[in-house]
Amino acid sequence: MSDAKLPTPPTLTTGEEAVAAKAKDEVELPHLWKQVQSAIWLLGLALLAWQGWWWPGILVLVAISGVTQALMANYVQRGQVAGEQTLARTRLEAGRIQALPANCPACGGALDAGKVQWRSDTVAVCPYCTSPISVTLKP
């Protein structure tokens, strides 16, 4: 027999771990949006009781509730992503201002972070001599 090690089998996730992983990906709706869901159900049930249209009306109400919840979750998630992108952009601009030298290394012209053109996150172009200026952003 050889002394070769056998590969270890992959670990299996339990149902609870799968549910916990899925819950991390789902967007938690703020309180106001949860109230909208409650209003949809209350008004829908009142309408169903008033019209006596329990079947298949309850299925329509479930569908309306599911679609509105998905739309609201998408709206909330897009707002969160936009906020994160704005924060990252603000941090990048602040880092650029700190890292940009006061004068161009090639021509000696005064540099302003608002007047230089940025080719990438770390490369600016001098407005006077158009030479590239590499900057090192601090983490």
Greater model confidence, 26 or 80: 80
Name the band, by pLDDT with cuts 50, 70 and 90, for residue 24: low
pTM of the model: 0.41
Question: Before 105, cis peptide (omega within 30)?
Answer: no
The first and second tokens of residue 86, run together, are 């704005």
Q: Residue 124: how many CB atoms within 10 A of its CB?
A: 23
Residues in the chain: 139
Average pLDDT value for the chain: 77
Sheet containing strand 132-134, edge to edge, reads 117-118, 123-125, 132-134
Per cent of the chain over pLDDT 70 is: 77
